Amino acid sequence: MEVKVSFKNQIQERTLEELKLYFQPKVFMEYCKACQYYNKIWSCPPYNFDLTEMLDRYQYAYIIGSKVYIDDLEEDLKQLSEDKNLEVVTNEIYKAAREVLDARLNTIAEAEKDLCVLLAGGCMECDCCTREIQLPCTRPEKLHYSLESIGFDVATISEEVLGDKILWAKESLPEYIILVCAIFSQEKLDIEGIYDSISHEDFGV
């Protein structure tokens, strides 16, 4: 069964100083320690660099909110959910959306080496990360962190900066899934150019 999803993107510019209002590394590192991926993939903590020093390299933050609306017919969604629990279905949509958005953001990162591109979650490049066997990352050019993994409160950023609440699957699929990404830069960026780079056709899973 194919579930069609579509994106509605928005981008908000903030200075890094403004964004630091949501920077709570001590709080979110504790959440990371409880996660199954802690110390197992290279995009997740613990890190061998200072987070504050990393942020101080940049002046501007471009917060990207990509909302995925689930717009199949209700009967199709019911049929899809018969064999799979709602959390599994939501995760499948999330992963498919990540594949598209990650590819677009990787293109931006490859074109502009002085940018810091942050994805909407942990790295998905490899089926098994080499960190588990204590070897270096095999695709360092595609290794990007996420806002939450470096200590930012993404739920509050989504609500206060983007104006969108993060929704979760409970008794039914949520109206939308929002992917919150970011680009940090030393200079101001062309927001329209970022929009163009992350635009894409609808897709299915």
pTM for the complete prediction? 0.89
Per-residue pLDDT for 107 more than 80? yes
The per-residue pLDDT for range 52-97, each reduced to its tens digit, is 999 999 999 999 999 988 764 345 555 555 556 777 778 878 888 8
Per-residue pLDDT for 153 more than 90? yes
171 pLDDT tier (thresholds 50, 70, 90)? confident
50 pLDDT tier (thresholds 50, 70, 90)? very high
Residue 72 pLDDT = 47
Residue 204 pLDDT = 46
Say what percent of the chain tops pLDDT 90.
61
Residues 6 or more apart from 149 whose CB is under 8 A from it?
32, 43, 44, 45, 122
Count the Cβ atoms, other than its own, within 10 Å of residue 145.
21
Count the Cβ atoms, other than its own, within 10 Å of residue 28.
19
Long-range Cβ contact pairs of 171-176 (< 8 A, separation 24 or more)? 171/86, 172/86, 173/70, 173/77, 173/81, 173/86, 173/89, 173/90, 174/70, 174/90, 175/69, 175/70, 176/67, 176/68, 176/69, 176/70
The answer to whether the CB of 148 falls within 8 A of the CB of 45 is: no
pLDDT averaged over every residue in the chain:
87
